[in-house]
Structure 1
Amino acid sequence: MKKLLSIITIWLCSTICAQSQIFTSSAIPDSIWATMQGKTWNKNPYIKRSDLRYLRISHIDLEGRTHVGEMVCNKLIAEKLLAIFSELYKAHYPIQQMRLPDVYDADDERQMRANNTSCFCYRNISESKNLSKHARGLAVDINPLYNPYIRYSKKDGSQIVEPANARKYIERTAKFPYKITRNDLCYKLFTKYGFIWGGAWRTKKDYQHFEFNVR
């Protein structure tokens, strides 16, 4: 009897967990669109509301707690992202938080410092006049505090780390949580679905960054 009860308990837990998983894509709700105004979205000739999708994504943090995150992305990669994050969730791959950048007033430094995973934000590449892939919702940053963007100043060649509080994570042979490497499931899934990893770039390194090139 005890063995039967144990089996039933395990089955119920797995069923409830399966039912509680959320991986959805929809048009941008009015409430979300209103929040985005003047923050992640500004009037422009390149991206329209209809080009974007609002995702709700279950994810697990390092302590094993389940959360439902939010993400806005280009409709061209919405299903790819749901497939990727579903696999990461099943594998208990840790993602600390996934909030819309509007929570941080679209301030990239602030949200990176908070280790926030995100996608769409209409902005330029850091220290550039060129639009970022994030401006079209075609790039995702994963656990950015632990996977910083490392570049070199055009003025004096000095090393710049973004976010600024991530300097201790630039040594990629060291052991620490949330780290993305070529042997990492996150890397394997994103590249499987056609994304390019910023950690493989030569002149700069963007370990948090995965972008999709539309042909």
Structure 2
Amino acid sequence: MAVALLAGCGAAQTDPPSPLAEPTGSAVEDGRRPLTRPGAPGTLVEPATGLGSRPPAWLGTRELPRTSSGYGEVRPTPPALRNRRFTLPDTVPMLGGKGFAAKVVSPAPGRVIARSTWKPGCPVGPGDLAWVRLAFWGFDAQRHTGELLVHRTVARDIVEVFGTLYRQRFPQEQVVIVRSYDPDAPPTGDGNGTGAFVCRPSTGATYFSQHAHGLAIDLNTFQNPYAKGEVVLPELASAYLRRDRVRAGMIVPSGPVVEAFARIGWEWGGDWQQSLDYQHFSQNGR
């Protein structure tokens, strides 16, 4: 089991100590320079304040009726979410340091795979996935730590991307391993976050998504919704289809997020023609 610790200008999280011993990685400086200065569209340097800077008490509790598409009913974005800019509590302990840091464990430990959506029949085996813990910048202008499962062949590239996003002060609400995928779960239409591996079919299709291969990432899914025809996901995020009104956490053409992923050869779903997937980046552009 290979472990690598990369430290630069941010913090990252760790799981509680495992009963299985893991070798300790070595810290190295990340001297890469930003592609764009902090303050670029979609970034945030000062802590967010005012309406939208705190999660509403009803978040995640209001079920939407389903439509013939199988998804929830698309409704106007509530005022508290029209300029959504809060960061939820971290779900894993923080990595040490004062700047960006990341830790890669490859292959991912069994205890981590067990709390993901992996199951027999997924297009990748558990040994193909790497566990990446990394720092990210929150809407509160503080260091936070999150975790991802990605294909082991792209783990270092993902660390490079998130290091750039941290230095650019691109804020995120949470960076998490998706723990369950249930298309029949009651939709609330207000979910948000950044995630990678999910063993699921592609949206509206029967074949496996690139997420099921660990070769795709969705960032800030509420600020960067998916839209095709009458379908908007998340269903309450339609205010963010106004891409000319750039708010913190939004991905914009030629902005720091698109540039960072382009640097590792990944393409953005916001450039698609038949559907717009503003949150999505993947190695094969699909």
- Do the structures match in fold with TM over 0.5? yes
CA shift, 1:47, in A, is 0.6
Q: Which amino acid aligns with 2:162?
A: F
Counterpart in 1 of 2:258?
Answer: 187
- The one-character-per-residue Cα deviations of 1:96-154 (angstroms, maximum 9, x if unpaired) are 2101110xx235897983321000001001221111100101000011101000112xx
Does the C-alpha gap of structure 1 residues 78 and 138 become closer, same or farther in structure 2, counting only changes over 3 Å?
A: same
Determine the structure 1 residue equivalent to 2:65: none
Structure 1 residues 13-92: aligned runs within 5 Å: 18=97, 21-26=100-105, 27-36=107-116, 40-44=117-121, 46-92=123-169
* Structure with greater proportional helix content: 1
Aligned to 1:133: 210
Please give the alpha-carbon distance, in whole angstroms, between the structure 2 residues aligned to 1:19 and 1:168.
35
CA deviation vs aligned residue, 1:35-59 (integer Å, no higher than 9, x gap): 22xxx11211621011100000100
Q: What TM-score does the superposition give when structure 1 sets the normalisation length? A: 0.80
Counterpart for residue 161 of structure 1: 232
- 2:247 and 2:260 map into 1 onto residues whose CA distance is 21
Task: Provide the secondary structure at the position in 1 that maps to 2:253.
Answer: coil
Aligned-partner Cα distance in 1 for 2:138–2:132: 18
Unpaired stretches in structure 1, ≥5 consecutive residues: 1-16, 153-158
Which structure is richer in relative contact order (CA contacts within 8 A, separation 6 or more)? Answer: 2
TM-score with structure 2 length normalisation? Answer: 0.61
Distance 2:188 2:99 in 1: 27
Distance 1:112 1:99 in 2: 18
Residues 112 and 31 from structure 1, CA distance in 2 versus in 1: closer, same or farther, beyond 3 angstroms?
farther
How many residue pairs get aligned? The number is 187
Identify if the C-alpha distance between structure 1 residues 143 and 20 changes in structure 2 by more than 3 Å, giving closer, same or farther. same
Give 1:187's aligned amino acid: V
Of residues 230, 238, 242, the one that matches 1:171 is: 242
Q: CA deviation at 1:183?
A: 2.8
- Structure 2 residues without counterparts, runs of 5 or longer: 1-95
8 Å CA contact 2:122, 2:199 repeated in 1: no
CA RMSD in angstroms comes to 2.2
